Amino acid sequence: MKVSALVIGAGVIGSSVAYHLARLGMSDVRVIDPDLGGALSSSELNAGGVRATFGQAINVEMSKLSIEFFAAHRDDTGYRDVGYLWLKTPEMMTASKNATELHRRLGWPVETWDVAELRKRVPFIDKTDDLAGAVFAPKDGLVNPNLVKNFYRNEARKLGVVFDDRTVLRGIEEVSPTEVDVQCVRIGVLSHEDKVRLYSGEDVITAGEVHYRAGVVINCAGAWAGEVARALQYDSPAFPLRRQISVFDCRDVDLTHYGMIVDTSGVYFHPEATNGLAGFAVKEEKPQVNFAYDGEAFFTEYIWPALYERASGFERLRHLTGWAGLYDVSPDESAIIGQATQGRRQKFLPVYEAHSFSGHGVMHCQAAGIALAELIVNGKYTTLDAGPLSAERFTTGELLHEGAVI
């Protein structure tokens, strides 16, 4: 079947890219995914935070553009401007000065609080001996990632985009300098266990082949972007990394009035209905596809001790549930966006990519979709210059080491 563009991966990034391609006038856009429901998608298994409080200008600008879009479509995205609050030790406060100046220079409001102001604004944080204060970004906030993804899909479908479920990439063959044959297989309805096997690289029973004759192929495969890159015959430094999230009963603290709070320990938390939701990046985590949630053991080792040391009201917490999802990560923890040129044949093949958002895919999805669609359709970036996010930076050494990663 002949298509103008084939997007691989129907998560929030792939859905955004497809929508913006169609919005710019490209017809015959198709998106393939092994599981449109996204049971194991990073778009679904995340905390829902959106922020522009990054250390690299391009990441601030990506988030700023996206959050402004979420705010303009609150009902469609579930955006709530409840803020991000970063607790700071004296050393951390000094180190964050340049980033705070960067945020203000780029038009993103941030406030610096001393300890007295922190305790006035957030009275349940009453263990503050190690703190110099906090940085608060009032326009950062929370969204519903499922709503965001489905907004893009619904709008894309109105413009003629087709989403093919249970379709798995197998390989690519050059037909001409401007067209490729993309070989895929269809798979049957999968159980949850089958999906875990599939996403872990194991074979599942297939239900026939399908070929797409595509003018453009776009790798938006998230945590599986490195594997997809190999199938598309180019090299990518992307890798998957497990992140775990716990939901807990915080009976003595009402979190519903607050947004995301990032402790000095690296534990982050926010309200989840009447409960609390918290996560933490374990530094010893090895790159791999791993959906196992370590349960109460994870909560009691990493989450609860940090919260106990921050608030008297957190001394009695009860673990309820949780889950594990995957970050798609790059070596400098910033996204990879642009034309894929890393392989020995890629200068001849029309392959593009948008992945490795390192936990920031939802908060960058609008900007990523606009930028890559403009590059593909118009041949250049217009709204936002995503050039610094090209994978070529890993060969030139112009890395974007993002320090503000949680």
Dihedral pair phi/psi, residue 23, rounded to 5° = -65, -30
Kindly report the pTM of this predicted structure: 0.95
DSSP 73-100: THHHH--B---EEEEE-HHHHHHTHHHH
Alpha-carbon distance of 340 to 392, in angstroms, equals 9
pLDDT tens digits in sequence order for the chain, 406 residues long: 999 999 999 999 999 999 999 999 999 999 999 999 988 889 888 889 999 999 999 999 999 999 999 999 999 999 999 999 999 999 999 999 999 999 999 999 999 999 999 999 999 999 999 999 999 999 999 999 999 999 999 999 999 999 999 999 999 998 887 899 999 999 887 777 777 777 777 777 677 899 999 999 999 999 999 999 999 999 999 999 999 999 999 989 999 999 999 999 999 999 999 999 999 999 999 999 999 999 999 999 999 999 999 999 999 999 999 999 999 999 999 999 999 976 644 455 789 999 999 999 999 999 999 999 999 999 999 999 999 999 999 999 999 899 888 8
124 CB-near residues (< 8 Å, 6+ apart) = 253, 311, 312, 313
> DSSP E strands: which ranges in 144-178?
162-164, 167-176
263 CB-near residues (< 8 Å, 6+ apart) = 87, 269, 306, 307, 310
DSSP collapsed to 3 states, 96-116: CHHHHHHHHHCCCCCEEEEHH
Contact 342, 234 (CB under 8 A): yes
Q: At what angle do helices 12-23 and 145-158 cross, to 10 degrees?
A: 30
Residues in the chain: 406
Cβ neighbourhood burial of 382 (10 Å; 0-12, 13-18, 19+): exposed
Alpha-carbon distance of 148 to 170, in angstroms, equals 29
Helix (H) or strand (E) holding 247: strand 239-249
